[in-house]
Amino acid sequence: MPKGVEVRVLSAAHFLLHLFMWLVLFLFLVKPVFAQSPTDLYTQYRTDYLYQRDQYQQNYTDYLNKKNIYLQYQTSNAEQDEINATKTVFLSRNSLLKAYLMTLRVALDQNSSYSSNTPDIQAKLQNLENWLDTQNQLIPNLNSATDLSNWAKTFNTQNVSIQALSYTAIVESQINLRLATLDQIQKLADTAQINWSDTYNSQSDQIKSLLQSAYNTTQKIQRQDKYTDFYPEAKKYLNQSDTRLDNLISDLKSYLIQKTN
Protein backbone atom coordinates (compact mmCIF):
# COMPACT_ATOMS: atom_id res chain seq x y z
CA MET A 1 0.00 0.00 0.00
CA PRO A 2 1.19 3.58 -0.52
CA LYS A 3 3.24 4.99 2.30
CA GLY A 4 0.70 7.74 3.00
CA VAL A 5 -1.96 5.22 3.95
CA GLU A 6 0.40 3.23 6.12
CA VAL A 7 1.50 6.29 8.07
CA ARG A 8 -2.06 7.37 8.82
CA VAL A 9 -3.18 3.91 9.84
CA LEU A 10 -0.14 3.39 12.01
CA SER A 11 -0.86 6.68 13.75
CA ALA A 12 -4.03 5.02 15.01
CA ALA A 13 -1.85 3.38 17.66
CA HIS A 14 -1.65 6.83 19.27
CA PHE A 15 -5.25 7.67 18.40
CA LEU A 16 -6.80 5.38 21.02
CA LEU A 17 -4.55 6.77 23.73
CA HIS A 18 -5.53 10.34 22.85
CA LEU A 19 -9.22 9.44 22.77
CA PHE A 20 -8.94 7.74 26.14
CA MET A 21 -7.28 10.84 27.54
CA TRP A 22 -10.15 12.98 26.23
CA LEU A 23 -12.60 10.79 28.16
CA VAL A 24 -10.43 10.90 31.27
CA LEU A 25 -10.34 14.69 31.05
CA PHE A 26 -14.07 14.88 30.65
CA LEU A 27 -14.95 12.45 33.43
CA PHE A 28 -12.35 13.14 36.09
CA LEU A 29 -10.87 16.64 35.81
CA VAL A 30 -14.08 18.40 36.77
CA LYS A 31 -14.09 19.44 40.42
CA PRO A 32 -17.72 19.46 41.56
CA VAL A 33 -18.68 21.02 44.85
CA PHE A 34 -22.13 19.46 44.67
CA ALA A 35 -22.63 15.83 43.62
CA GLN A 36 -24.44 15.16 40.33
CA SER A 37 -25.73 11.99 38.75
CA PRO A 38 -25.55 11.29 34.99
CA THR A 39 -28.69 10.85 32.95
CA ASP A 40 -29.73 7.44 31.68
CA LEU A 41 -28.99 8.58 28.12
CA TYR A 42 -25.50 9.67 29.11
CA THR A 43 -24.88 6.29 30.73
CA GLN A 44 -26.13 4.54 27.59
CA TYR A 45 -23.84 6.55 25.31
CA ARG A 46 -20.86 6.08 27.58
CA THR A 47 -21.46 2.31 27.57
CA ASP A 48 -21.59 2.39 23.78
CA TYR A 49 -18.34 4.33 23.72
CA LEU A 50 -16.61 1.68 25.82
CA TYR A 51 -17.96 -1.06 23.52
CA GLN A 52 -16.78 0.79 20.42
CA ARG A 53 -13.37 1.27 22.04
CA ASP A 54 -13.00 -2.49 22.48
CA GLN A 55 -14.12 -3.08 18.90
CA TYR A 56 -11.57 -0.60 17.62
CA GLN A 57 -8.77 -2.29 19.55
CA GLN A 58 -9.70 -5.66 18.06
CA ASN A 59 -9.99 -4.32 14.52
CA TYR A 60 -6.73 -2.44 14.77
CA THR A 61 -4.94 -5.59 15.93
CA ASP A 62 -6.43 -7.47 12.97
CA TYR A 63 -5.25 -4.72 10.62
CA LEU A 64 -1.69 -5.02 11.93
CA ASN A 65 -1.76 -8.77 11.33
CA LYS A 66 -3.05 -8.33 7.77
CA LYS A 67 -0.46 -5.65 7.05
CA ASN A 68 2.39 -7.85 8.26
CA ILE A 69 1.17 -10.76 6.14
CA TYR A 70 1.05 -8.55 3.06
CA LEU A 71 4.55 -7.20 3.73
CA GLN A 72 5.81 -10.76 4.08
CA TYR A 73 4.16 -12.38 1.04
CA GLN A 74 3.24 -9.46 -1.27
CA THR A 75 0.39 -11.42 -2.89
CA SER A 76 -2.74 -9.85 -4.39
CA ASN A 77 -4.93 -11.73 -1.93
CA ALA A 78 -2.87 -10.47 0.98
CA GLU A 79 -3.09 -6.94 -0.38
CA GLN A 80 -6.88 -7.18 -0.62
CA ASP A 81 -7.04 -8.52 2.91
CA GLU A 82 -5.05 -5.52 4.09
CA ILE A 83 -7.31 -3.11 2.20
CA ASN A 84 -10.39 -4.71 3.75
CA ALA A 85 -8.83 -4.58 7.23
CA THR A 86 -7.94 -0.92 6.70
CA LYS A 87 -11.53 -0.10 5.79
CA THR A 88 -12.74 -1.92 8.90
CA VAL A 89 -10.36 0.12 11.06
CA PHE A 90 -11.59 3.36 9.49
CA LEU A 91 -15.22 2.35 10.05
CA SER A 92 -14.50 1.32 13.63
CA ARG A 93 -12.61 4.52 14.40
CA ASN A 94 -15.48 6.62 13.07
CA SER A 95 -17.98 4.69 15.18
CA LEU A 96 -15.78 5.15 18.23
CA LEU A 97 -15.50 8.89 17.61
CA LYS A 98 -19.23 9.21 17.07
CA ALA A 99 -19.94 7.43 20.35
CA TYR A 100 -17.52 9.78 22.10
CA LEU A 101 -19.07 12.90 20.56
CA MET A 102 -22.56 11.70 21.47
CA THR A 103 -21.43 11.22 25.07
CA LEU A 104 -20.05 14.74 25.18
CA ARG A 105 -23.17 16.21 23.60
CA VAL A 106 -25.60 14.54 25.99
CA ALA A 107 -23.45 15.29 29.03
CA LEU A 108 -23.66 18.98 28.15
CA ASP A 109 -27.38 18.87 28.88
CA GLN A 110 -26.45 18.99 32.53
CA ASN A 111 -26.13 22.62 33.71
CA SER A 112 -26.70 23.85 30.15
CA SER A 113 -28.93 26.65 31.42
CA TYR A 114 -25.86 28.45 32.75
CA SER A 115 -24.35 29.18 29.34
CA SER A 116 -25.74 30.47 26.06
CA ASN A 117 -22.80 28.81 24.28
CA THR A 118 -23.87 25.26 25.10
CA PRO A 119 -26.61 24.80 22.44
CA ASP A 120 -24.25 25.92 19.67
CA ILE A 121 -21.54 23.50 20.82
CA GLN A 122 -24.08 20.68 20.95
CA ALA A 123 -25.28 21.51 17.42
CA LYS A 124 -21.70 21.40 16.13
CA LEU A 125 -21.14 18.06 17.85
CA GLN A 126 -24.27 16.74 16.15
CA ASN A 127 -22.96 17.94 12.78
CA LEU A 128 -19.72 16.04 13.30
CA GLU A 129 -21.66 12.93 14.27
CA ASN A 130 -23.60 13.24 11.02
CA TRP A 131 -20.37 13.68 9.07
CA LEU A 132 -18.97 10.49 10.58
CA ASP A 133 -22.17 8.65 9.63
CA THR A 134 -21.82 9.89 6.05
CA GLN A 135 -18.18 8.80 5.88
CA ASN A 136 -19.10 5.32 7.09
CA GLN A 137 -21.46 5.05 4.14
CA LEU A 138 -18.63 6.00 1.77
CA ILE A 139 -15.82 3.86 3.18
CA PRO A 140 -17.19 0.47 1.96
CA ASN A 141 -16.88 1.83 -1.60
CA LEU A 142 -13.16 2.54 -1.25
CA ASN A 143 -11.63 -0.33 -3.19
CA SER A 144 -8.01 0.63 -3.72
CA ALA A 145 -5.03 1.83 -1.75
CA THR A 146 -5.27 5.18 -3.57
CA ASP A 147 -8.91 5.57 -2.52
CA LEU A 148 -7.97 4.85 1.08
CA SER A 149 -5.07 7.29 0.97
CA ASN A 150 -7.28 10.09 -0.35
CA TRP A 151 -9.93 9.40 2.27
CA ALA A 152 -7.31 9.38 5.03
CA LYS A 153 -6.28 12.89 4.00
CA THR A 154 -9.90 14.03 4.22
CA PHE A 155 -10.25 12.54 7.68
CA ASN A 156 -6.97 14.04 8.84
CA THR A 157 -8.26 17.52 8.02
CA GLN A 158 -11.64 16.97 9.71
CA ASN A 159 -9.97 15.41 12.72
CA VAL A 160 -8.59 18.83 13.65
CA SER A 161 -12.17 20.05 14.04
CA ILE A 162 -13.12 16.90 15.95
CA GLN A 163 -10.32 17.38 18.48
CA ALA A 164 -10.93 21.12 18.86
CA LEU A 165 -14.67 20.72 19.38
CA SER A 166 -14.18 17.81 21.78
CA TYR A 167 -11.98 19.89 24.04
CA THR A 168 -14.33 22.85 23.65
CA ALA A 169 -17.16 20.64 24.93
CA ILE A 170 -15.00 19.48 27.85
CA VAL A 171 -14.14 23.05 28.80
CA GLU A 172 -17.79 24.13 28.42
CA SER A 173 -18.94 21.32 30.69
CA GLN A 174 -16.45 22.32 33.35
CA ILE A 175 -17.41 25.98 33.05
CA ASN A 176 -21.09 25.16 33.44
CA LEU A 177 -20.40 23.01 36.49
CA ARG A 178 -18.54 25.85 38.16
CA LEU A 179 -21.27 28.33 37.29
CA ALA A 180 -23.81 25.92 38.79
CA THR A 181 -21.62 25.64 41.90
CA LEU A 182 -21.42 29.41 42.19
CA ASP A 183 -25.19 29.66 41.86
CA GLN A 184 -25.70 27.06 44.60
CA ILE A 185 -23.30 28.92 46.88
CA GLN A 186 -25.28 32.11 46.43
CA LYS A 187 -28.56 30.29 47.09
CA LEU A 188 -27.12 28.82 50.29
CA ALA A 189 -25.99 32.27 51.31
CA ASP A 190 -29.49 33.62 50.71
CA THR A 191 -30.97 30.76 52.75
CA ALA A 192 -28.59 31.59 55.59
CA GLN A 193 -29.67 35.24 55.28
CA ILE A 194 -26.18 36.34 54.37
CA ASN A 195 -26.12 39.67 52.58
CA TRP A 196 -24.47 39.07 49.20
CA SER A 197 -22.48 42.24 49.68
CA ASP A 198 -20.19 44.04 47.27
CA THR A 199 -17.34 41.87 48.55
CA TYR A 200 -19.05 38.66 47.51
CA ASN A 201 -20.27 40.23 44.26
CA SER A 202 -16.69 41.12 43.44
CA GLN A 203 -15.50 37.57 44.10
CA SER A 204 -18.36 36.21 42.00
CA ASP A 205 -17.48 38.53 39.13
CA GLN A 206 -13.83 37.46 39.30
CA ILE A 207 -14.85 33.80 39.05
CA LYS A 208 -17.10 34.50 36.08
CA SER A 209 -14.31 36.47 34.39
CA LEU A 210 -11.91 33.54 34.79
CA LEU A 211 -14.50 31.16 33.34
CA GLN A 212 -15.02 33.48 30.38
CA SER A 213 -11.25 33.49 29.82
CA ALA A 214 -11.30 29.69 29.86
CA TYR A 215 -14.00 29.70 27.18
CA ASN A 216 -12.09 32.27 25.10
CA THR A 217 -9.16 29.87 24.78
CA THR A 218 -11.44 27.47 22.87
CA GLN A 219 -12.16 30.09 20.21
CA LYS A 220 -8.62 30.33 18.86
CA ILE A 221 -8.35 29.65 15.14
CA GLN A 222 -6.93 26.20 14.38
CA ARG A 223 -4.56 25.34 11.56
CA GLN A 224 -6.14 23.19 8.88
CA ASP A 225 -3.51 20.46 9.10
CA LYS A 226 -2.64 20.38 12.81
CA TYR A 227 -4.58 20.66 16.06
CA THR A 228 -3.25 23.25 18.51
CA ASP A 229 -3.96 22.19 22.09
CA PHE A 230 -5.65 25.01 24.03
CA TYR A 231 -6.75 22.86 26.98
CA PRO A 232 -3.71 23.51 29.23
CA GLU A 233 -4.39 27.26 29.05
CA ALA A 234 -8.11 26.74 29.65
CA LYS A 235 -7.31 24.47 32.60
CA LYS A 236 -5.18 27.21 34.13
CA TYR A 237 -8.20 29.54 34.25
CA LEU A 238 -10.43 26.74 35.52
CA ASN A 239 -7.99 26.01 38.33
CA GLN A 240 -7.89 29.69 39.25
CA SER A 241 -11.68 29.75 39.37
CA ASP A 242 -11.58 26.73 41.70
CA THR A 243 -9.28 28.63 44.04
CA ARG A 244 -11.64 31.60 44.02
CA LEU A 245 -14.62 29.32 44.69
CA ASP A 246 -12.79 27.75 47.62
CA ASN A 247 -11.95 31.20 48.98
CA LEU A 248 -15.55 32.31 48.60
CA ILE A 249 -16.79 29.29 50.51
CA SER A 250 -14.20 29.88 53.24
CA ASP A 251 -15.19 33.55 53.55
CA LEU A 252 -18.88 32.68 53.84
CA LYS A 253 -18.10 29.96 56.38
CA SER A 254 -16.09 32.42 58.48
CA TYR A 255 -18.94 34.93 58.30
CA LEU A 256 -21.42 32.30 59.49
CA ILE A 257 -19.16 31.32 62.39
CA GLN A 258 -18.83 34.93 63.46
CA LYS A 259 -22.57 35.48 63.10
CA THR A 260 -23.45 32.54 65.34
CA ASN A 261 -20.99 33.53 68.08
Contacts 24+ apart (CB under 8 A), 161-166: 161/128, 161/222, 162/97, 162/101, 162/128, 163/18, 163/227, 164/218, 164/222, 164/227, 164/230, 165/101, 165/121, 165/124, 165/125, 165/128, 166/22, 166/100, 166/101, 166/104
Q: How confident is the model at residue 12 (pLDDT cuts 50, 70, 90)?
A: very low
Query: Residue 98's pLDDT is what?
Result: 96
- pLDDT greater than 90 at residue 48: yes
- Report how far residue 182's alpha carbon sits from residue 49's, in angstroms, rounded to the nearest whole number: 31
pLDDT top residue among 2 and 219: 219
- Per residue in 143-158, pLDDT (tens digit) is 999 999 999 999 999 9
Query: Quick one: pLDDT at residue 15?
Result: 53
For the chain, the distance separating the N- and C-terminal CA atoms, rounded to the nearest angstrom, is 79
Q: Could you tell me the pTM of the whole model? A: 0.86
